[in-house]
Structure 1
Amino acid sequence: MQAPHYYVYIFGDNPREDVEIGIAGDLQKHMAEFKLPQPNQNKVAAKAKLVYYEHYQAPEEAQTREQQLKGGGLDSTFNLIESMNPNWLDLSDTLSDQL
């Protein structure tokens, strides 16, 4: 049986603009659903790219990390993204490497 996967993710489009931080068990599926057109969709979702993610096997660890990111302020979130992904590239094609 395969170990569970939990991802803390950051979706964004352009550097230093709005981002979406969350948790997903199946990040590929969540990304596909997130990008589906929805009424009143915010601008992040409309052009979202996976710009940062971390993998966890314990849901509690993922939840704690999500809360840290959400509570850290936008500057620290932007700095984290730019430390690992300075060009804000879409990292969704790297997900299969993590499974």
Structure 2
Amino acid sequence: MQVHEPHYFVYIFGDQPREDVEIGIAGNLQHLAHTKEAPAPHKAPPAKLVYYEHYKVEDEALNRERQLRDGTRDATYQLIESMNPNWLDLSDTLED
């Protein structure tokens, strides 16, 4: 019997540079990214996965999520742009 290691992802969804973003944590980022719908103005959360980090320990992922949520918007935008300067949807880069 194969035992799978746990995976935790801290993610940021956003649609346009310097606009609202959604920061969270998920155990199955691929499923979450592929179930997001295109945003409707002022109704739906951002739909593009623009940043993520992988963790094997839940507490580390939760601490990082808190750190990102407590940070400034500018710091969040800089973090996204350090990995994804064009704010492309990264959901297709996730492995199965």
Q: Fold match, TM over 0.5?
A: yes
Read off the aligned partner of 1:66 and give its amino acid letter: E
Aligned to 1:2, what secondary structure does the other structure show? coil
User: Is 2:60 the counterpart of 1:61?
Assistant: yes
**Other-structure match for 2:11:** 9
In the alignment, the residues of structure 2 paired with residue 28 and residue 36 of structure 1 have an alpha-carbon distance, to the nearest angstrom, of 16
Q: CA deviation at 1:69?
A: 0.3
Q: What runs of 5+ residues in structure 1 fail to find an aligned partner?
A: none
TM-score, with normalisation over the residues of structure 2? Answer: 0.87
In the alignment, the residues of structure 2 paired with residue 15 and residue 64 of structure 1 have an alpha-carbon distance, to the nearest angstrom, of 25
In the alignment, the residues of structure 2 paired with residue 92 and residue 31 of structure 1 have an alpha-carbon distance, to the nearest angstrom, of 6
User: Is 2:43 the counterpart of 1:41?
Assistant: yes
One of 31, 34, 54 as aligned partner of 2:33: 31
Q: CA deviation at 1:36?
A: 7.7
| Count of aligned residue pairs for this structure pair | 93
In the alignment, the residues of structure 1 paired with residue 7 and residue 49 of structure 2 have an alpha-carbon distance, to the nearest angstrom, of 17
Moved over 3 A (4+): none
In the alignment, the residues of structure 2 paired with residue 7 and residue 87 of structure 1 have an alpha-carbon distance, to the nearest angstrom, of 21
TM-score, with normalisation over the residues of structure 1? Answer: 0.84
Relative to its length, the structure with more helix (as a share) is 1
Which stretch shifts more, 26-35 or 74-83?
26-35
